Each structure stands twice: as C-alpha cells, then as structure tokens.
C-alpha cells in the first residue's frame, strides 16, 4: 500500500513539474522578441522528447552496435568481427546445406505448375480484354485477372514455403516467420474483411475474430499447447491429435510414430501468430474497404462489371496502400518474435529465432553475442522501416 501511495504521489508530482515547466517556458517565450521566440520555441517543446529519445533509444542502440563489434563476453576486449564471424559461420544460425533440395521439393514443383497456369491465364485474359492497363504493363500479360493473380500469389507462397522449409538455421526461420505470418495473416484478414463486409452479422463476426488480439502471446501459446498436446502420461490428448488421423503427432517438436514432420513443426507455432494477427489485418483492411468511394463502385457497376470484377479491379487497387501498411507492420512485429517460441519449445527442435538467441546471450552473460543478434534483427527491420518512412513522406508531400 505504501508503494502504491508513494507511486501515485510521484506520478502527480512528475505531472505537475512537467506542466509547470511547459507553462513557465511558454510565458517566458511569449515575452521574448519574435525572432528569438521563433528560433527557440521548437527546441523548448521538442527538446525533452529529443533528450528522452537520445537517452532511451539512440545511446543504447549505438552502444549495442559497438558492443557487437567488440571481443570478450562483456566487450572488454578491442574491436573485432569475431562475434559476427562466429554467428554467421554457425550452421545453426544460417546454413545453405540443403540449397539444391529446394528445386526438387514438391512445393517448388507445385509452384512452377501454378506459375505456368497463371501465365497462360494472364496471356489469354490479356488477349481477350481491351483493358489499356494490361497492355501498358506486362506486354500481353493481364496479371490482375482474378484467377491469374490468385495463382500467382499461391505460387509465390509455395516457393517461399519450399525455400524456408528446406534451408535450416535461425535466420531462415525468422524469414519464414515473416513470410508465413505477414502473408497468411494478411490474406486471411483480407478474405475475412471482404466476406464480412456488409453482411448481417458483420460486427459480431469481426469482434470474435479480433478477440485473439487481446490475448498475450504467452497466454496464446499456452492455449495452443493444449490444442497440440500429445496424449501422454497424465496429460489429456490435444484437440488436433484427436482429429488428426494417424497420430499422435508432437506438433510443436515434430515427432510422430511414423517419422518426423520437422521442420513443419515451426509452422504450427506460426499458426498461433497468424490466428492472433489475422484479426488485426481484418480490422485495418475492413476500414480501408469501407473507405473506397461508393461513386467508384457504382460507376463500375453501371459499366457492367460484376461483383468479382468490382473487387479485383476497383476495390483491391484502392486498398493496396493499406495492405502495404498491414504487411510492413506485421513484418516488423514478427521479426522480433520471441514469446511464442520461448513459451512453446524454448527454441529446441529447430524452432529457434533471433530474438531468443539475443535473450540467451543475456542469460549467459555473453553481452557481445546478445548484441550481435540484436543488431541482426535491427538490420532485418531496417529495410521495412525504410519502406514505411518513404511511403509516409510521399503521402505528406
């Protein structure tokens, strides 16, 4: 109780001090000559935020980067690339050993077949249509045709899955997470948003699907563990194993009586994240769909477009910027994935990810190794940040 009271008092004092400082600063600035006021005012008001960012973000980031470039467990030795060399030559971190197997994997072959069909459909569609957009772009390929674009998307997904399920290592794992979660959560979100749009139970359905967002990742991991549980000593059989023929399969670690499902056990952990994030994607995309001007839709219908055409040729192009936002947001979230892996397998059975390595570095007191993995995450996040910032700038201009 003492702590609570003193905390509340501290909070109030802090708020009062901040309010007081800004009020006084405002009064003082008002009295200054106009030019000095103009020059000084932004600094006075932005200054504290800049200071906090410097102390809380910039300095630690720079320190982490420097630490990753130093020797010794706590960076007590001079600059060296040892930690990077060790990490990048470790087969557990990144390995190209199975590279050749990608091209013979069933998924890859399926992707090639899908791709061929997509191209054929796109060609035919381009030949039939007089849409100027198509000829402008793809030299006789109409990739915005519903069938060809769906097949294209499936082909890309298959290729990515083929790549990530063949190449092993935690960096590949992280990228697999990004592709799977950002991809599937967005696809499901889009599908749900479209299906729920203007239906009678839209609000109820959307609320239900959005709800997992309110569950913490560790909580979600525990819920799904019950679904994935294998019938074992003193523990109940999980739902999925009851439904799955030929079980029992240890979905989280990939063993089954007939062999192994590894590395697809990774995918069953990703499923949890997809379950959570699909709701987020749905809500954002749904808002964008509602924001598409009705005049456009009506104009298309008057011109004789059916609902499928309206969606693929009018609605979808209109909401592409929103989809980009959803994908980039999910990508950044997922690159930092930690809780789910930690709470389900702890990184065993080939499910390790970068953030878990970063944490383990801290636990082991190996601050340089930890920093190295932190910087790896930063490097992977940077391009996505860059895309986001560029897009925001363009919108402002």
Partner 1 sequence: MIALVAVLSLFTAACAQDDDDEAGGGGGGDAKDTLTISGPETGSEADGFTAAFDPFTEETGIKIEYSGTRDFETQIRVAAEGGDLPDLAVIPQPGLAKDLADKITPVPKSVLDKYKDQYDPYLWEQVTTDDDDILGVPNKGDVKSLVWYSPKVFKEKGYEVPETWDAMLKLADKMKADGVTPWCVGIESGEATGWPLTDWFEDIMLRMHGPEVYDQWVNHEIPFNDPKVVEVGKEIEKIWFGQGNVLNGRQSIASTGFKQAGLPILEGKCGMHRMANFYAADYKDAGAKFGEDGDVNVFYLPTMSDKFGKVTLSGGTYIVAFNDNEATMKAIEYLASPDYANARIKANKGGFLSPNQKHDTSLYSDDLDRQLAEILTTADPLRFDGSDLMPSEVGAGTFWKEGTNWVLGSGDLKKFLDNVEASWPDS
* Rounded least distance, CB 10 to partner 1, Å: 5
Two tokens, residue 291: 């924001």
* Rounded least distance, CB 360 to partner 1, Å: 6
Cβ 278 vs Cβ 185: under 8 Å: yes
Two tokens, residue 90: 């470790």
* Rounded least distance, CB 87 to partner 1, Å: 13
Nearest to partner 1 of 247, 279 (CB atom)? 247
Two tokens, residue 302: 């008057």
Q: d(Cα 345, Cα 319) in Å, to the nearest integer?
A: 38
* Rounded least distance, CB 123 to partner 1, Å: 45
Q: What angle do the packed helices 265-291 and 316-335 form, to 10 degrees?
A: 140
Cβ 334 vs Cβ 181: under 8 Å: yes
* Rounded least distance, CB 241 to partner 1, Å: 10
At 255, phi and psi to the nearest 5?
-95, 150
Nearest to partner 1 of 170, 288 (CB atom)? 170
Nearest to partner 1 of 174, 351 (CB atom)? 351
Q: Within 13 Å, how many C-alpha atoms sit on residue 287's CB side?
A: 10
Cβ 239 vs Cβ 302: under 8 Å: no
How would DSSP label each residue in 106-118?
HHHHHHHHHHHHH
Nearest to partner 1 of 246, 257 (CB atom)? 257
Q: d(Cα 163, Cα 342) in Å, to the nearest integer?
A: 24
* Rounded least distance, CB 217 to partner 1, Å: 13
Nearest to partner 1 of 169, 254 (CB atom)? 254
Residues that bind partner 1 (CB under 8 A): 3-4, 6-7, 10-11, 73-74, 92, 229-235, 250, 252-257, 260, 262, 342-350, 352, 359-360, 362-367
Nearest to partner 1 of 11, 120 (CB atom)? 11
Cβ 210 vs Cβ 283: under 8 Å: yes
Nearest to partner 1 of 68, 322 (CB atom)? 68
- Give me the residues paired with residue 118 across strands: none
Two tokens, residue 187: 């696809």
Nearest to partner 1 of 132, 257 (CB atom)? 257
* Rounded least distance, CB 361 to partner 1, Å: 9
Nearest to partner 1 of 145, 253 (CB atom)? 253
Q: What angle do the packed helices 170-177 and 367-396 form, to 10 degrees?
A: 30
Q: Residue 30 contacts by C-beta under 8 Å, 6 or more apart in sequence?
A: 37
At 4, phi and psi to the nearest 5?
-60, -50
* Rounded least distance, CB 75 to partner 1, Å: 10
* Rounded least distance, CB 284 to partner 1, Å: 25
Cβ 227 vs Cβ 239: under 8 Å: yes
Cβ 230 vs Cβ 282: under 8 Å: no
């Amino acid at each position: 109780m003492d702590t609570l009271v003193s905390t509340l008092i501290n909070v109030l004092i802090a708020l009062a001090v901040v309010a007081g400082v800004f009020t006084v600063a405002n009064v003082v600035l008002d009295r200054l000559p106009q030019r000095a006021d103009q020059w000084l005012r932004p600094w006075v008001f932005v200054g504290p935020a800049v200071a906090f960012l410097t102390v809380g973000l910039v300095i630690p980031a720079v320190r982490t980067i420097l630490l990753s470039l130093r020797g010794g467990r706590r960076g007590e030795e001079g600059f060296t690339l040892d930690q990077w060399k060790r990490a990048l030559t470790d087969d557990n971190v990144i390995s190209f050993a199975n590279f050749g197997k990608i091209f013979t994997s069933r998924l890859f072959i399926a992707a090639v077949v899908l791709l061929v069909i997509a191209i054929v459909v796109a060609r035919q569609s381009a030949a039939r249509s007089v849409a100027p957009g198509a000829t402008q772009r793809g030299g006789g390929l109409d990739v915005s045709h519903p069938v060809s674009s769906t097949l294209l998307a499936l082909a890309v997904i298959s290729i990515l899955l083929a790549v990530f399920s063949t190449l092993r290592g935690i960096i590949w794992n992280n990228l697999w997470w990004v592709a799977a979660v950002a991809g599937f959560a967005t696809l499901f979100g889009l599908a749900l948003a479209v299906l729920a749009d203007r239906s009678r139970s839209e609000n109820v359905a959307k609320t239900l699907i959005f709800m997992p967002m309110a569950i913490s990742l560790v909580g979600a991991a525990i819920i799904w563990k019950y679904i994935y549980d294998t019938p074992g000593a003193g523990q109940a059989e999980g739902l999925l194993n009851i439904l799955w023929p030929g079980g029992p399969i240890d979905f989280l670690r990939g063993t089954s009586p007939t062999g192994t499902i590894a590395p697809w056990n990774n995918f069953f952990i990703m499923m949890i994240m997809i379950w959570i994030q699909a709701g987020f994607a749905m809500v954002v995309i749904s808002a964008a769909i509602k924001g598409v001007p009705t005049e456009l839709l009506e104009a298309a219908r008057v011109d004789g477009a059916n609902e499928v055409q309206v969606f693929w040729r009018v609605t979808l192009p209109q909401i592409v910027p929103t989809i980009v936002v959803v994908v980039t947001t999910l990508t950044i979230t997922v690159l930092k994935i930690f809780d789910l892996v930690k709470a389900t397998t702890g990184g065993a059975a080939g499910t390790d990810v970068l953030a878990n390595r970063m944490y383990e570095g801290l636990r082991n007191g190996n601050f340089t190794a930890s920093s190295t993995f932190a910087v790896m995450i930063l490097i992977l996040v940077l391009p996505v940040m860059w895309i986001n910032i560029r897009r925001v700038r363009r919108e402002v201009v």
